[in-house]
Structure 1
Amino acid sequence: MKHVGRTLSAVATTIGLALVATGCASNVIGDDGPRPGIAAAVEDTEITLDELTAVVDGLCTLQETNPDPAAVGTSREYAQSQILQQWIAALVDAEFADDQQIEATAEDPGLELAPGWDDVDEDDREALQDYADTVLYSSAVRQEVEEGEAPDPADYDIAINPRFDVRLEGAEFVPAGEQLSVPVSDEAATEIEAPTPEALRELPEDELCGKRPDPAAAPPVPLG
């Protein structure tokens, strides 16, 4: 099933946004048996860990080359969290569209026209394209759905790898915490809150996604 949709600019900026999903789910990858290499699954559609990494790498490259001077990066951990959440929510919309026989189409994301596309690793492009198509198709589905008829993730089989320490609760993704069936180290825990500019300025290069905040933009230090 090919998912198509929204606009490139919307996709490229998702990693800087706090995402909210509706419904609730508490399934965890591994509860029903080993599923190595899987980041999350919605019904029969799986997001592999390799695909998630490829999308993070690709979008961070696009963010780094974004010509907009106001575009500020984030941490790779936070970007990964937002991308995974957005991807899960979009797959729920796609399943809902199939169930309800909703016909929705939208523009091609045009990733190949984005500044920095040539810098994206060729091995990352297919996963990034699939992510963009899926998220954008989700937006098109939402435009076809009448108010009050949005899909409820609780109606679908959703599972998330416990390494990300996140689950759906009510209307948002929250840390799974003690509800996980396996322990999660501090290093593996997903970053739910966006990092501050101060934190981003201190991040090592390999943990930064996009542009580092300009130190000149920092608020002045009180002199007394």
Structure 2
Amino acid sequence: MKRVLLVDDDVELSSMLTEYLEREGMVVTAVHDGLAGVEACRVGGFDIAVLDVMMPGIDGVEVLRRIRAFSRLPVLMLTARGDEVDCVVGLELGADDYVAKPCTPRELAARLRAILRRTASDGPADVLAVGPLTMWPQERRAQWCNATLELTSTEYSLLELLVRNAGRPVSKAELSEQVLGRPLARYDRSIDVHMSSIRHKLATGDDSRAWIQTIRGLGYQFVKI
């Protein structure tokens, strides 16, 4: 059973979501302010966290910033519908995905399952190596130029998909379907923001070439040597 940390100041909504997610086989711990959310993550024991952006005091973005200082725990953000700024900022800080409120408990559960599926370590025990990049998918571990490459769960899955298809473009629609677990929506910048973060992390190595290329009209491609 997967353990979910729900951080939302709306007690009534938290209760409804908790009841639904527990019927779906998850164990939910709900806290109602940002500081409590940070401390719960510090204690640990969770498989994923759900953070509401709009909270009094320390909001969800600041909670995420503090969590990322010590943990790579998968995080799903709850944002105001149509607030693209919150979505982009959350993704840039290392959120794995977001859901716009108001959302149905069913949609939230589906997004959580999609993230949890891709963070599971029950895949093939192979090793992927292209250029200075080495990935161990079963361990969800990667090295770039022989140094540990720190990636969020979504970044890892996106990079793994590109590497498995090195030398050919992978469309944003395919990346969204296979990694985010949802169809690519119009004006959805999630994939682009994640790719920008991955590129930035790869550029910190000794080899500064553009290993991830944007193929106009087709998608993204990892360079094959």
Please say whether Structure 1 and Structure 2 have the same fold, judged by a TM-score greater than 0.5.
no
TM-score by length of 1: 0.23
Higher RCO, 1 or 2 (CA under 8 Å, sep at least 6)?
1
Which protein has the bigger strand share?
Answer: 2
TM-score by length of 2: 0.23
